[in-house]
Structures are given as structure tokens and as C-alpha cells.
Amino acid sequence: MGRVLVTGAAGFIGAHLCQALLARGETVLGLDNFNAYYDPALKQARLAALTGQAPAEQFQMARLDLADHEAVLALLRANPDIDRVAHLGAQAGVRWSLEAPFAYTASNVTGHLSVLEAVRRAEGRIRHVVYASTSSVYGSRTDGAFRETDRVDRPASLYAATKLADEVMSSAYADLFGLSLTGLRFFTVYGPWGRPDMAYWLFTEAMLAGRPIQLFNEGRMLRDFTYVDDIVQGVMAALDNPAPGGGHRLYNIGNNRPEQLLDLVAILEELLGVQATRVLKPMQPGDVPATFADISAMRQDFGWAPTTDLRTGLTRFVTWWRAYFGDGPGKA
């Protein structure tokens, strides 16, 4: 068995995926640029947990920027044992794309193309690439479950537009060069070691600090909150099962059970023992009122379904938070 390249390995989902791959005996090469979108100390702490888990011959880490296509090409040439790629590295966050648009085209468009081109030039030794897309490609909708066959030509943010571009480029590369590529549209992933720009993290931090929380769209938001361990199991199931004969596929990967944002707040209040002070705000540009994954394709093709309900997942997150930060607000 060859080695797995995981891009975004110091990120939230990437670090959890590396941990799961190592636990089943895989050899992993991680890649990350440790950018400062949020405190790099959190990324370093995730990496420290990984390197403490595995011997050096099983897990190695490369620090480089995906937008540096020559460096990505060189990395694949220098590691001929890589036979699968889990491409999770990207500039995340809908709202920041309004402020720093070129960061998104560099990481998500040029960076994705760097991976595709490096895999193409590997001359057939990369058996499968699984990459992260997003539920944001579906745009602003409230009309029920999102299906992979639905229209995605009106993304509500630049972030979503860049991830949609990744899907289109992947389809072209699969057709042109016979690559096996699978895109996973993630739906609101949460859990321990999470991202500090996500609502559940921001609410926890604010509530413990005695600050009010901001509820956009006056809290009338539905999110298909998906626990990170469930996501990782789906990524691994997809990675293990390339399409027969190659080609490009797309799947929703979500909890298939939208939750009210206000219900998330109520659970956090109970777990933290703190009453939240709510500030109701209008909808933010680029945001969407609801996400809802139809996961029938993931279930049919990979036998995958989520198993973690929101209360259980948030309980695990709060337990991690207290172990990492103590009883006070976070510093990330």
C-alpha cells in the first residue's frame, strides 16, 4: 500500500483525517501553509497532537503553499510512493471572501489546479483524489434537501464560486486525462479542534467571556451541522472506493438533519452553564438561510451515514474546549 497525501493537514478536518488514517496503519504525508486566517498556534497544536501519535516514518509534514504550483509539482515528484490524495487545503470562510478575495482565488483556484496538474503529471500512479467542495455551491435556498443534480450556477459568495470552479476544473481534468476524482460537498462541519470563525466556536467563546452573541437573520438559520468524525469516515470511505474506470463524481456529505441555530445556542447554554445574551442582526452578504443535504448517493455508493446527533457532538466539543482552554474563553 502506498502513501496518502493530505493537503490542509494542520486544518480542522485535515488533522482529524490524518489521525484516522494513521490509526488504521496508513503512511501519511501532510501539507499545509499554516496561514494566519486564524491563529496558527491552533494549527501547530493540532500538528503536535499528530506527531505525538505517529513515528516519523509513518507521518511527515511539508510546509508549502498550494498556490506555488512548482513546489507542489516538485513534492509529488519527490514522493513517488504517494498513490492517493485527500485534498482538503483551501481558504475557508464565506464572510472573509468579501474582504480578501484574492486569497480565495490563490488558494482555492490556483491551489486546486496545482494539485490537479501534479496528479496528471504523476502518470497514472495516483489512484484516486478526493477533494473538499462545499454546500455553499447551492446558493441561497429554503426549498428542501439539496441534491447533487440541483442547479449550482448562482453561488452566493466568492468562496462558493471558487469551490464551484474546483468542481468544473476537476470534471475537465478527469475527462481529458483519465483521472479518478471525487468531490465532497461538506455541510457545516463542527467538533473538537474546530475553526474559530465558526458559529459554535464564536458563541462558546463569547458566552464564557460574558459577551453577547450575534445571531444573523435574527437567528432564523437552518444548518445541517455535521460532526467531524462522521465527515472523516465519509472521506475515508470515498478515498477507498474510486469510481470503476475513473472519472469525476460529486457527493453531498452532511448530517441530513437541519437544525435551528437557536437550538444550537440552547444546547451550548446547557452545556456551558451560561445564559447567552442575544443580539439579533440581519442576514450577512454571502450567507445562506438554510443548508440541507440529501445523502442518498453517499449512502448507496459507500454505505455511509452520519451517526452523531448535535447534542452529542457539542458535548464532545465542550469537553475538548475545557481540556484545551480551561473554563475561560479561548485565545484563538
Contacts of residue 70, defined as CB under 8 A and 6 or more positions apart, other chains included, come to none
**Rounded-to-10 torsion of CA 32, 157, 294, 252:** -20
Q: Which residues does residue 60 pair with via DSSP β-bridges, in sequence order?
A: 29
Residue 159 appears among annotated catalytic residues: yes
In whole angstroms, what is the distance from residue 246 CA to residue 239 CA? 13
Given a contact cutoff of 8 angstroms between Cβ atoms, the answer to whether 272 and 204 are in contact is yes
Q: Which residues does residue 251 pair with via DSSP β-bridges, in sequence order?
A: 184
Phi, psi of 291 (to 5 degrees): -135, 145
Alpha helices in 26-91 (DSSP H): 40-51, 69-78
Given a contact cutoff of 8 angstroms between Cβ atoms, the answer to whether 8 and 40 are in contact is no
In whole angstroms, what is the distance from residue 247 CA to residue 109 CA? 20
Which member of 38, 104, 131, 159 is catalytic? 159
Phi, psi of 232 (to 5 degrees): -60, -40
Residue 98 parent element (H or E) = none
Cell 456551558 sits at which residue? Answer: 272
CB neighbours of residue 143 within 10 Å: 8
In whole angstroms, what is the distance from residue 312 CA to residue 49 CA? 23
**Rounded-to-10 torsion of CA 196, 201, 203, 205:** -70
21-43 per-residue burial string, b: 16 or more CB within 10 A, e: under 16: bbeeebbbbbbbbeeebbebebb
Cell of 69: 504550483
User: How does DSSP classify residue 19?
Assistant: H
Would you name the residues annotated as active-site residues? 159
